[in-house]
Amino acid sequence: MAFKTLDDLLAQGVESRHVLVRSDFNVPLDKDGNITDPGRITSSLPTIKALVDGGAKVILTAHLGRPKGEVNEKYSLAPVAEALSEALGQYVALAGDVVGEDAHERANGLNDGDVLLVENVRFDPRETSKDEAERGAFADELVSLAADNGAFVSDGFGVVHRAQTSVYDVAKRLPAFAGKLVEKEVNTLAAVAKNPESPYVVVLGGAKVSDKLGVIEALAGKADHVIIGGGMCYTLLAAQGYDVQNSLLQEDQIDNCKELLERFGDKIVLPVDLVAASEFAADAEHKVVGLDGIPEGWESLDIGPESVKKFGEVIAKSKTVFWNGPMGVFEMDAFSNGTKGVAQAIIDATKNNGSFTVVGGGDSAASVRRLGLDEDGFSHISTGGGASLEFLEGKELPGVSILEA
C-alpha cells in the first residue's frame, strides 16, 4: 500500500507551514469529564512532536463522542487540550469553535512550533453528512485554516474507515500524508491481513453478534480458530439450544448464528462455562455455572474459568493472534476475570511462542490498561477497533485509500 508519509512531508520542510492534522482523541471520560484512558492521546504524540520540532504551525482536528451535529459542552475537547498540553510540555490552545472566527484568529496567530486544537468537528453536522456537497463545503472551511502552502496529515486510525469531512474530503484538497500512527497501523495490520503465520487465532468479544457476523464469516475463512466470548456469544449459544435466560440475546440473529455454526463450526470455539449474575451490577450475587445452568432470571456477565482454560490452550498453540472485544463486563471486577485471563494467555503466547499478537483497539485496548496488564506483552495494540476489523476483513478504508499515491 503506497502512500506518502510524515517523513516525506518533513523532508519537504514544514517550517512556518500550517499543517492540518486529523487525530483521534475520542477518549473515554468519567461522569466528571476526566479522561480515564489517555491511550489515544499518547499514540498521537510522535506525529505532533515531529511537526512541532520541524517548526510547523500545527492545527489539530478531532471528535469526541457523538454530539450529533450540535454544540454540546459534554463533548468539548477541553479535557483533551489540557492533557495534550501536559503531555507535550507546551501550551495547546483550544479554539472556541471549529471553523468560526475564533478558530481562524488563533490559526492566523500561530507561531512556528505552536499547536492549536479546534473544537469537536462533530459539532458541525457536515462532518458526518452523506451529502458530498455539504462535506465539501465544510472541508473548504477546514482547509482555509491552513492558509497557503498548507498540508494535511491523517493520523487518526480510529476514523479512517469513515468517509467523513476531516478524514476524507480534506485529503482531496491539500497535499496529504499518513502520520506515524496511521503508517504503523496499516503496515502492522497488513502483515496479519495478508500473510498471517499459522496457526492463526482470532479472538472476538463485545456486545452484539449482529455487528460482527460479517467479521466472523470473513475471518473464519482465513483463521484456524475463531474464539468467541463476550455478549455476542450468548446468541450463538442460544443457536445451539442453550437457555441463556436474561443474558444479552439477539433473537433475530439466532437463525444466522445457526447457519454460521453449520458452515464454520469446526473453527468456532465457544465458552464451556459462564459467570452468572442475579443482576447487571458490580455487587450482584454471582456464581460459575455450566452452559445450561444459568438460574432463572439471571444473566451471564463473563466467561467462566474452564472457558478461560480452553481458550488459553488454543491461543498457546498460535503463531498469530488478533483480539477484538472483551470476554465479559471487564469494568466490574467480579466479571473481569475472563478478559484478564484471555489477555494474559495472549501475552504468554507472545513471550513463550513468539506469536505475533495484535489487540484490535476499542474496549480491548482499554481493558489491557484498566486491568493492569503489560502493554509491551503484545506485538501491537491498535487504536482503532472498527477500522482494524474492517481492514482485516479486506474492506477498503476510505481514509487510507484517499492517501494512496
Q: What mean pLDDT is predicted for residues 310-324?
A: 97
Residues 28 and 166 in one domain: yes
Identify whether the C-beta of residue 227 lies closer than 8 Å to the C-beta of residue 316: no
Does 40 qualify as catalytic in the annotation?
yes
Q: For residue 400, tell me if it sits in a domain.
A: no
Q: Is 63 annotated as a binding residue?
A: yes
Which of 205, 230, 231, 386 is labelled catalytic?
386
The question of whether 208 is a catalytic residue gets the answer yes
**Chain mean position to CA 254:** 27
Across the range 280-285, mean pLDDT stands at 97
405 inside domain: no
C-alpha grid cell, residue 45: 504524540
Tell me if 203 is assigned to some domain: yes
**Are 128 and 122 within 8 A, CB to CB?**
yes
Last residue of a domain, one of 134, 157, 181: 181
Q: Which three cell numbers stand for residue 173?
A: 484538497
Taking 70 as the threshold, does the pLDDT of residue 156 lie above it?
yes
Q: What is the mean pLDDT of residues 18-35?
A: 94
| Predicted pLDDT at 266 | 92
What CATH number corresponds to the domain at position 159? 3.40.50.1260
Q: At residue 121, does pLDDT exceed 70?
A: yes
Q: Please check whether residue 238 is in contact with residue 244, taking contact to mean a CB–CB distance below 8 angstroms.
A: yes
Q: Supply the Cα-derived Rg of the chain in whole angstroms.
A: 22
Please indicate, yes or no, whether residues 232 and 117 belong to a single structural domain of this protein.
no
Judge whether residue 116 has pLDDT over 70.
yes
For residue 322, say whether it is annotated as part of any ligand binding site: no
User: For all residues of the chain together, what is the average pLDDT?
Assistant: 95
With respect to residue 403, please indicate whether it lies within any of the assigned structural domains: no
Q: Give yes or no for a contact between 246 and 298, defined as CB atoms under 8 angstroms apart.
A: yes
Q: Do the annotations mark residue 66 as ligand-binding?
A: yes
pLDDT exceeds cutoff 90 at 255: yes
136 and 201 part of one domain: no
At residue 378, the pLDDT reads 96
Same domain, 10 and 102: yes
What's the CA gap between 206 and 235, in Å, rounded?
Answer: 12
Catalytic residue among 17, 40, 222, 340: 40
212 is in an annotated binding site: yes
* Residue 402 in domain: no
160-215 tens-digit pLDDT: 999 999 999 999 999 999 999 999 999 999 989 988 999 999 999 988 888 888 88
- Determine the structural domain holding residue 336 and report its residue range: 189-392
In this predicted structure, what is the pLDDT of residue 365?
87
Answer yes or no: do 173 and 197 share one domain: no
| Options 49, 173, 208, 267, the catalytic residue | 208
Residue 173 is assigned to a ligand binding site = no
Q: For residue 380, tell me if it sits in a domain.
A: yes
Residues 170 and 200 reside in one and the same domain: no
Q: Is residue 149 part of a domain?
A: yes
Domain boundary among 126, 153, 181: 181
Same domain, 304 and 207: yes
C-alpha cell at 186: 496499516
- Model pLDDT, residue 207: 86
C-alpha cell of 88? Answer: 507535550
Question: Do residues 171 and 309 share a domain?
Answer: no
Residues 53 and 37 in one domain: yes
Asked if pLDDT for residue 405 goes beyond 80, the answer is no
Q: Do 32 and 147 fall within a single domain?
A: yes
How many domains does the chain fold into? Answer: 2
User: Does the pLDDT value for residue 385 go beyond 90?
Assistant: no
Q: Same structural domain for residues 239 and 319?
A: yes
Q: In the listed set 181, 204, 239, which residue is the last one of a domain according to the structure?
A: 181
Composition of the chain by helix, strand, coil, percent to 5: 45, 15, 40
User: Catalytic: which of 54, 362, 385, 399?
Assistant: 362
At residue 1 the predicted structure's pLDDT band, cuts being 50, 70 and 90, is low
Strand, helix or coil for residue 289 = strand
Prediction pTM value:
0.88
Question: Is 164 in the same domain as 265?
Answer: no
Cβ-Cβ contacts under 8 Å for 54 (sequence gap 6 or more): 10, 13, 14, 15
Give 297's pLDDT tier (boundaries 50, 70, 90). very high
Domain for residue 401, yes or no?
A: no
